[in-house]
Amino acid sequence: MAFGGLLVFFGGLGVVGHQLWYWLQFGKWKKVPIWWALEKIGPPETSLGGWLAHPNSWYGLHKTLAVFSKTTPLSVTLLVVGGLIFVVFISSMDSKRLE
C-alpha cells in the first residue's frame, strides 16, 4: 500500500515535470486539471466516459464534480493523495510494530 502511495505521489511529480518542461519550451504554463484525467479513464462509449460527456442522471453530482475537477490541478491532487496514502500506511505499520 505504501508503494501505491508513492506511485501516486510520483505521478503528481511527473505531471509537474511535464508542465515545467512545457513552460521551459513554450513559455506558457499548461494547466492540467483533474477533469483531463477523468476524461481519459475510458472511451465515451463506456458508462463513466459517456456520463462525464453527456450526463443523463445525477445532474447535481455531475455539476459538482465538473466544477471541482475543472478547477483543481491534477498534480496537486496526486501529490496530496499519494502523500496521505503513504503517511497513513507507514503510521499504521509503526503502530503495529509497537504492539
Same-domain status, 37 and 68 = yes
12-51 pLDDT, tens digit per residue, is 999 999 999 999 999 999 999 998 888 777 666 666 777 8
Same-domain status, 37 and 67 = yes
Is-contact 8 85, C-beta < 8 A? yes
Q: How far apart are CA 41 and CA 53, in angstroms?
A: 12
Q: Which of 65, 71, 74, 70 is nearest to 11 (CA)?
A: 74
What is the model's pTM? Answer: 0.77
Number of domains in the chain: 2
What is the domain range of residue 87? 1-27+75-99
> Residue 99 pLDDT > 80, yes or no?
no
